Amino acid sequence: MFQNIINGISVLAIPLILLFIPIYGYFKKVKVYEVFTEGAKEGFEVAIKIIPFLVAIFLAISVFRSSGAMDFLAWILAPITNFIGMPGELLPLAFMRPLSGSGALGIVSNLVTTYGPDSMIGRMASVMMGSTETTFYILAVYFGSISVRKTRHALPAALTADLAGIISSVIICHIIFD
Amino acid sequence: MINIVWLILLSVGIIVAGFSCLGIENTSAGWIMEPTWAPLMDITNSVFGEAKHAVTLAFGLIGIMALWLGIMKIAEKSGLIQVIAKGLKPIMVWLFPEVPPDHPAMGSIIMAIAASMLGLGNAATPLGLKAIGELQKLNKIKDTATNAMCTYMAMSTSSVTIIPATIVGIRSAANSTNPTEVIGPVIVATGISTTVAIIMSKLLQKLPRYQLPEVDGTVDTIEEN
């Protein structure tokens, strides 16, 4: 039941949005075709802009993995990751995610291409990436912009939420894809 | 921070590979040593391979990103985001009791959250900065975060997402048979993390160590003076 609903949302989301948004835009007198291409241009820029970050992270991750250092780290932390059913390969992602968006994106891309997007690791990495944020960066930028120095409980609350996001990604993937 | 993480991944990896070159192994015949260049050669090969891989992946991403940002531009221009914002208003009043319902801060927060829900990363950041700026206007102690700020920050860092566009793009660029199958799980996971963010910020603000110092007067009187 739960699985069917989740799968239904996954299947329907994109077609419904592709149907609804242009029709809505048309009735609101938006020049849908022209505005679409205008936005699409930005997509090109985004994809090109992330290349340096992807190369930097792919480099570091491939060295860390092909040297065997990753296996060693996974082995040390195995008791914790096994407990929540998380493959050790996802550890670097869990550490990188709150620190750097482009860094985490690089790790996800790497995991997805190395283990395959439809493997359990690929799926978990995708869900983790989609459901958490670059906490330290956002807090620094936002609070920095208004010169607030005493951030009180913002960081502990945000990090607890990240942890909840990571653990629930693992559990949900087991429920849906196992 | 990211500088340190990057450096550690790179240097620890190379040092570990260097040690593996010594070929020290614990076999049945006791400790033996068989020096070999293989681990360092593996690193050289995989580094060049992955650098090339990064670029082919980014090229695969161009089409999907263009498609998504095109659709989102229509949503933006048609005022759909404002419609979503209106629908979310009752929840906002409950989330931010310190903020007057008609204060501009409310509108900005809703717009920022609506934009990030739709995966409009670039539009979400300026809207978010506007929102936190509006909250600062209600702040009595300017260098200290208010409860509303902490709740808002916890929510934005837990990333309320409906469409994880970049992830779908990456999966599709990596030839997934079903790139969008993660959308449902992402919505559930992000829902849980956002709920935890709200609960934690509401609970933590009651702890003595996170109490706001007492201040006389209200913001309005300070501004009038």
Which residues in chain A are contacts of B161 at CB distance < 8 A? Answer: 130-131
**Predicted local distance difference test score (pLDDT) of residue A47:** 77
Q: Name the least confident of A121-130, A138-147, B40-49, B121-130.
A: B121-130
- Total tally of structural domains belonging to chain A: 2
Residue of B nearest to A32 (CA): B74
pLDDT of residue A105: 87
Position B159 scores a pLDDT of 72
CB of A92 within 8 A of CB of A108?
no
* Count of CB pairs separated by less than 8 Å, A with B: 378
Q: Is B53 in contact with A58 (Cβ distance < 8 A)?
A: yes
Q: Which residue type occupies A47?
A: A
Residues A43 and A54 in one domain: no
User: Residue B24: phi, psi to the nearest 5?
Assistant: -75, 125
Same domain, A41 and A54: no
Identify the domain boundary among A28, A49, A70: A49
Determine contact, residues B64/B72, Cβ cutoff 8 Å: no
Q: Under a CB-based contact definition with an 8 Å cutoff, are residues B95 and B137 in contact?
A: no
> What confidence tier does A71 reach under pLDDT thresholds 50, 70, 90?
confident
One domain, residues A6 and A68: no
Comparing B27 with A18, which gets the higher pLDDT? A18
Q: Is A82 found in the same domain as A153? A: yes
Residues of chain A above pLDDT 70, percent: 100
Query: What is the tens place of the pLDDT at every residue in A76-111?
Result: 888 888 888 999 889 888 878 887 777 888 889 999
Q: How far is CA A82 from the centre of its chain?
A: 21
Residue A55 shares a structural domain with residue A39: no
pLDDT at B224: 37
Which residues of chain B lie closer than 8 angstroms to A114, CB-CB?
Answer: none
**Binary contact (A161, B196; C-beta < 8 A):** yes
Q: How far is B115 from chain A (nearest CA, A)?
A: 14
Smallest CA–CA distance from B143 into chain A, residue? A148
Looking at the fold, whether A57 and A115 belong to one and the same domain comes out as yes
Give the gap in angstroms from C-alpha A104 to the nearest C-alpha of chain B: 10
Are both A125 and A161 inside the same structural domain? yes
Domain residue ranges in chain B: 53-213
Asked if A168's CB is within 8 angstroms of B188's CB, the reply is: yes
Q: A interface mutation test: which of B109, B188, B211 has the most A CBs within 10 A?
A: B188
Give the pLDDT of residue B68.
78
- Based on the domain organization, do A42 and A62 belong to the same domain? no
CB contact under 8 A, A59 and B51: yes
Give pLDDT, residue B123.
62
- The parent domain of residue A36 ranges over 1-49
Q: Based on the domain organization, do A54 and A44 belong to the same domain?
A: no
Q: What residues in B contact A127, CB-CB < 8 Å? A: 182, 185-186, 189
Q: CA of B224 to nearest chain A CA: how many angstroms apart?
A: 21
Q: What is the pLDDT along chain B (225 residues), one digit of tens a residue?
A: 567 778 988 999 999 988 888 877 777 777 878 888 888 888 898 899 888 888 887 887 788 778 877 887 888 788 887 787 777 778 888 999 999 877 878 878 887 887 777 766 656 777 788 889 889 999 989 889 999 999 999 998 887 777 788 888 889 888 999 988 999 999 999 999 999 999 999 999 998 888 887 765 454 444 433
**Can you give the pLDDT at residue B215?**
65
Which three-class secondary structure state does DSSP give residue B165? helix
* B212, closest residue in chain A (CA to CA): A152
Chain A, residues 61-120, CB within 8 A of chain B, namely: 61-69, 72, 92, 95-96, 99-100, 103, 105-106, 108-110, 112-113, 116-118
Nearest-neighbour CA in chain A from B19: distance (Å): 10
Q: Give yes or no: residues A172 and A148 share one domain.
A: yes
Same domain, A108 and A42: no
Put simply, the answer to whether A165 touches B193 (Cβ < 8 Å) is: yes
Residues A130 and A106 in one domain: yes
A10, A146, A152: residue with CB nearest B182: A10
- Phi and psi at A60, nearest 5°, equal -65, -45
SS3 of residue B173 by DSSP: helix
Select the residue of A35, A62, A162 nearest B47 (Cβ to Cβ). Answer: A62
| DSSP codes, chain A | -HHHHHHHHHHHHHHHHHHHHHHHHHHTT--HHHHHHHHHHHHHHHHHHTHHHHHHHHHHHHHHHHTTHHHHHHHHTHHHHHHHT--GGGHHHHHHTTT-HHHHHHHHHHHHHHH-TTSHHHHHHHHHHHH---HHHHHHHHHHHTT--B-TTHHHHHHHHHHHHHHHHHHHHHHHH-
- The whole-number pLDDT of residue B120 equals 64
Alpha-carbon span A59 to B6, nearest angstrom: 9
